[in-house]
């Protein structure tokens, strides 16, 4: 009779574990005193029996990170998301000043593990992108984006790269089993960053066509500013798209996804309404004051609470992530979105920044008009 | 099949019991199962015992700061899992310096002791990513619940669930079982 996988695992594990015989363990008092480790214990056959349930791979790690045991449960702060509600109240009182254009300038950084000269170290892939969105739909929309560039992440990483001869190309460190075609070499330390741009009125394709994902600029500027109206608007949108790919499965998920609206040029009243709605959701958790990667002070919020996500880093195919949005404490606008490691991995400490999207200080409404970039390729 | 009872030590450690007494009791009750847990993750008993000794020493040092004594066992398990991760990373470095491409994972003696069928299971589990291996051992050796596994590994229950599901799907193909 075929046994289930689960039964076979239980059987293999329990039988394998029983290779450790009770009588072979040290005496109890040995464990309490903090003393040098015991040397070889156990029967000779057990020392030879390397029953290993591990992934044994070549790991060119530059440093070993010491992970900490999972901390005991932390009490939720007694004021919950009150800080977010207070911010919403403040934002609601701001004047609705708009200029000719809304300019959004983003700088993306992502940490990657690379190797050269037999050493592994970290590097950062950087990529800049800019949007000029006109208030008047008859004015042109302009986008500009830079080719990604790679540089060592820290001074220590820079030293490792130089010790390897400062090669123009480094090898990405990939999860074992990654196809060779996907585990590529990356150009390092390039001085110039190539760029491309688009320019045109009411574009219906390309990077300028859907700058706010599922929301059109017209929808953003007409968003309800009262709580009931906003919920009804979100519900109606969800119901009309139900069952289609990309639409949330439940209304709760759709409401939780409304944090995407914060990335758009909402009026202060609309932004306040969105912040109030998000503050009431169980998927929102205020982390408290924080600084963004540019050192600006803001309010850190997790809009993804309860949802597990992880990504590859180096050889580790699953490193838990923590997402944080840092909001301007005066305007409620986004300063940065930061993803930190939820656990340690080779070359990455728990809490280390894995990626960030910084909204640079030039972002906002302006009466300036976009100038076509002279040294960029037009798409 | 579990051969140990995994429960919190009988009675909460009261104000009168010394750290040494309580930690000793903990070892009596849970030491073997923790060494076996480490053994399944790192592959040799000597290293497994070192990892567990470090975990108990850490509990002993922190005894005064542990406010919830019922969290001691999950703390111990988490310390063992984390200790095993460190061992494996260190081992990979040593392997590189000695020019060996892989750490030997199996021995003739073990295969003879456990049988070829079980060896196939270990080989298949060995090929899985680290997180999947850990979830499988915690689930099918210690019989922990999703919530308990999440606490030990420091991840969410959703991650435990999806990780276990992925691992079992891969094993079903590798071991050619019908689910």
Query: Is it the case that residue A372 has pLDDT exceeding 60?
Result: yes
In eight-state DSSP terms, residue A137 is T
Question: Quick one: angle between helices A82-92 and A268-279, nearest 10?
Answer: 170
Helices B116-126 and B130-140 meet at what angle, rounded to 10? 130
Beta carbons of A58 and B102 less than 8 Å apart: yes
pLDDT value at residue B64: 74
Could B46 and A14 be called an inter-chain contact, meaning their C-beta atoms sit closer than 8 Å?
no
Contact call for A17 and B39, based on CB within 8 A: yes
pLDDT of residue B2 exceeding 50: no
Q: Do A48 and B107 touch (CB under 8 A)?
A: yes
Cβ–Cβ gap A308/B104 under 8 Å: no
Residue A42's pLDDT band, with cuts at 50, 70 and 90, is very low
Per-residue pLDDT tens digits for A233-263: 999 998 888 777 667 778 888 898 899 999 9
Tell me: the pLDDT tens digits for A44-72?
222 222 222 222 222 222 222 333 333 33
DSSP secondary structure letter of residue A345: B
CB contact under 8 A, A68 and B88: no
Give the span between the Cα atoms of A359 and A361, in whole angstroms: 7
| Both structure tokens of A15 | 């039988």
Contact list in B for residue A22 (CB cut-off 8 A) is 32
Vertex A289 angle, CA A288 and A294, to 5°: 135
The DSSP bridge pattern shows strands A195-201 and A377-378 to be parallel
The CA distance from A111 to B4, in Å, is: 43
pLDDT at A34: 37
User: Which has the minimum average pLDDT: A30-34, A282-286, B55-59?
Assistant: A30-34
How far apart are alpha carbons A202 and B87 in whole angstroms? Answer: 58
Whether residues B40 and A306 touch (CB distance < 8 A) is answered with no
Going by pLDDT thresholds of 50, 70 and 90, the confidence category of residue A311 is confident
Return the residue of B nearest to A320 by Cα.
B155
Residue among A10, A52, A60 minimizing CB distance to B43: A52
Query: What is the dihedral angle through the alpha carbons of B77, B82, B88, B92, rounded to the nearest 10 degrees?
Result: 180
Q: What percent of chain A has pLDDT over 90?
A: 54
Number of cross-chain residue pairs from A and B with Cβ atoms under 8 Å apart: 255
The listed range with the strongest mean pLDDT (A51-60, A264-273, A299-308) is: A264-273
Residue closest to A135 by CA, chosen among A160, A98, A106:
A98
Taking CA–CA distances from B110, the nearest residue in chain A reads A49
- Answer yes or no: do B130 and A18 touch at CB < 8 A: no
Q: Which residue has the tokens 């991760």?
A: B85
**Reported confidence tier of residue A207, pLDDT bands at 50, 70, 90:** confident
Question: Tokens 């420091």 correspond to what residue?
Answer: B154
Q: Which chain A residues have a beta carbon less than 8 Å from that of B155?
A: 308, 320, 342-343
A157-166, A299-308, A348-357, B60-69 — which is least confidently predicted? B60-69
In a mutational test of the B interface, the residue from A18, A53, A304, A318 whose CB has the highest number of chain B CBs within 10 Å is A53
SS3 A268: helix
| Arithmetic mean of pLDDT over chain A | 82
Q: Does the pLDDT value for residue A2 go beyond 70?
A: no
Write down the mean pLDDT value for chain B: 76
> What CA–CA distance (Å, rounded) separates A336 from B3?
51
Read off the pLDDT band of B109 (50, 70, 90). low
Give the whole-angstrom CA distance, residue A65 versus residue A343.
Answer: 10
Strand ranges (E), chain A: 101-116, 119-134, 140-146, 149-152, 169-172, 185-187, 195-201, 285-291, 297-302, 310-313, 316-327, 334-341, 353-359, 364-366, 377-378
Please write down the HEC assignment for all residues of chain B.
CCCCCCCCCCCCCCCCCCHHHHHHHHHHHHHHHHHHHHHHHHCCHHHHHHHHHHHHHHHHHHHHHCCCHHHHHHHHHHHHHHHHHHHHHHHHHHHHHCCCCCCCCCCHHHHHHHCHHHHHHHHHHHCCCHHHHHHHHHHHCCCCCHHHHHHHHCCCHHHHHHHHHHHHHHHHHHCCCCC
ipTM given for this complex: 0.82
Q: How confident is the model at residue A306 (pLDDT cuts 50, 70, 90)?
A: low
Interface test with A, best of B104, B121, B169, B170 (most A CBs within 10 A): B121
What span, in angstroms and rounded, lies between the C-alpha atoms of B155 and A325?
20
For B120, name the nearest residue in chain A, comparing CA atoms only. Answer: A12
- Report pLDDT digits (tens) over A109-156: 999 999 999 999 999 999 899 999 999 989 999 999 988 899 999 999
Closest approach of chain A CAs to the CA of B139, in angstroms?
9
Tokens 């308990």 correspond to B148
Set of chain B residues whose Cβ sits within 8 Å of the Cβ of A46:
44-45
**B105 and A42 in contact by Cβ < 8 A?**
no
* Best of B55, B63, B96, B109 to mutate (most A CBs within 10 Å, chain A): B109
Q: Which domains does chain B have, with CATH numbers?
A: 14-104 (no CATH), 107-179 (1.10.10.10)
| Residues contacting A245, CB < 8 A, separation 6+ | none
The radius of gyration of chain A's CA atoms, rounded to the nearest angstrom, is 26
Q: H or E element: which one contains A227? A: helix A227-241
Considering chain B, what percentage of its residues have pLDDT values greater than 90? 22
In the Cβ-directed half-sphere of B136, how many Cα atoms lie within 13 Å?
A: 33
């Amino acid at each position: 009779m075929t046994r289930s996988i689960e039964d076979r695992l239980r059987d293999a594990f329990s039988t394998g574990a029983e290779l450790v015989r009770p009588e072979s363990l040290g005496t109890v008092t040995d464990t309490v005193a903090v003393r040098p480790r015991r040397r070889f214990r156990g029967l000779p056959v057990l020392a030879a029996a390397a029953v290993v349930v591990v992934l044994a791979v070549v790991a060119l790690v530059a440093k070993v990170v010491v992970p900490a045991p999972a901390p005991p449960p932390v009490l939720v702060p007694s004021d919950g998301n009150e800080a977010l509600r207070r911010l919403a109240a403040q934002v609601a009182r701001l004047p609705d000043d708009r200029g000719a254009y809304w300019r959004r300038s983003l700088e993306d950084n992502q940490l990657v593990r690379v190797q050269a000269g037999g050493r592994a170290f970290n590097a950062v892939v950087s990529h800049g992108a800019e949007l000029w969105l006109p208030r008047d739909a008859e004015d042109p929309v302009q986008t500009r984006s830079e080719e990604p560039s790679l540089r060592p992440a820290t001074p220590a990483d820079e030293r490792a790269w130089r010790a390897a001869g400062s090669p123009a190309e480094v090898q990405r460190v990939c999860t074992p089993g990654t196809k060779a075609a996907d585990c590529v070499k990356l150009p390092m330390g390039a001085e110039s960053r190539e760029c491309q741009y688009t320019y045109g009125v009411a574009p219906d394709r390309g990077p300028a066509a859907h700058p706010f994902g599922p929301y059109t600029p017209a929808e953003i500027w007409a968003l309800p500013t009262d709580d009931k109206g906003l919920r009804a608007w979100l519900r109606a949108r969800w119901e009309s798209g139900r069952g289609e790919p990309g639409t949330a499965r439940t209304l709760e998920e759709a409401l939780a996804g409304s944090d995407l609206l914060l990335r758009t040029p909402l009026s202060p009243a609309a932004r306040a309404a969105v912040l109030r709605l998000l503050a009431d959701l169980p998927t929102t958790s205020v982390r408290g004051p924080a600084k963004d990667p540019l050192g600006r002070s803001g309010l850190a919020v997790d809009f993804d609470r309860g949802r597990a996500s992880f990504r590859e880093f180096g050889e580790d195919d699953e490193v838990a992530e923590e997402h944080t949005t840092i909001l301007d404490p005066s305007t409620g606008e986004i300063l940065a979105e930061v993803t930190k490691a939820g656990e340690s991995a080779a070359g990455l400490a728990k809490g280390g920044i894995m990626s960030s999207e910084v909204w640079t200080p030039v972002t906002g409404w302006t009466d300036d008009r976009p100038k076509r970039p002279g040294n960029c390729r037009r798409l | 099949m579990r051969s140990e009872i995994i429960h919190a030590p009988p009675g909460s450690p009261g104000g009168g019991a010394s750290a040494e007494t309580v930690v000793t009791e903990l070892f009596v009750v849970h030491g073997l199962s923790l060494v076996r847990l480490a053994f399944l993750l790192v592959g040799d008993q000597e290293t497994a015992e070192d990892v567990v000794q470090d975990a108990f020493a850490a509990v002993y040092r922190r005894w005064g700061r542990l406010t919830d004594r019922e969290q001691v066992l999950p703390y111990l398990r988490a310390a063992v899992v984390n200790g095993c991760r460190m061992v494996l990373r260190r081992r990979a470095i040593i392997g590189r310096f000695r020019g060996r491409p892989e750490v030997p994972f199996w021995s003739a003696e073990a295969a003879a002791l456990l049988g070829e069928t079980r060896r196939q299971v270990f080989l298949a589990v060995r090929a899985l990513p680290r997180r999947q291996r850990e979830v499988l051992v915690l689930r099918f050796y210690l019989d922990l619940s999703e919530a308990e596994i999440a606490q030990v590994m420091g991840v969410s229950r959703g991650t435990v669930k999806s990780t276990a599901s992925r691992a079992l799907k891969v094993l079903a193909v590798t071991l050619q079982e019908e689910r």
